[in-house]
Amino acid sequence: MVQTSTDPADQLPDNNPVTRELVEAVLETVEAQDKEGVIALLDPLHPADVADIIEQIDRAERKALVVLLGADLNGAALSELEEGVRDEVISDLPDEVLAAVVQDLETDDVVYLTEDLEEPKQQRILRSLDDIDRIAVEQ
């Protein structure tokens, strides 16, 4: 008889770099407030894999992770998040950190991330972009 697990981490394909062990290592490193350690664990990953980790952890763990990373959070990973999780993460980031995170994103990704934000937060982020990027996002 084949046992099936209800744990999403157990359902990951074998070639997926996001293992239960990696998620646990990230959480332990966050708990230790080891920013460089978290960066070392996440930097080699594709943004979709970083998003996968963020989606697998609970809201309190997620907030601790994004607050610890601050401006070092991979902006492309934000674009990969499911909408509800993305909204939570964006709401947990101070405006100046969110602005720093979106600096290296493509224009369409910045639009995607900011289109549902409240107007004051949108404006603060737009003001942080250089003129060419800001105009492109506004259009």
pLDDT digits (tens, 9 = 90+) for 92-133: 888 788 888 888 788 888 888 778 778 887 887 788 788 888
Model confidence, pTM: 0.78
Helix/strand/coil for 22: helix
Angle at the Cα of 79 (from 61 to 56), degrees rounded to 5?
30
**C-alpha to C-alpha distance for 28 and 33, rounded to whole angstroms:** 9
Residue (of 31, 101, 95) closest to 73 by Cα position: 101
**C-alpha to C-alpha distance for 35 and 133, rounded to whole angstroms:** 29
pLDDT tens-digit map of 27-68: 999 999 999 999 999 999 999 999 999 999 999 999 999 999
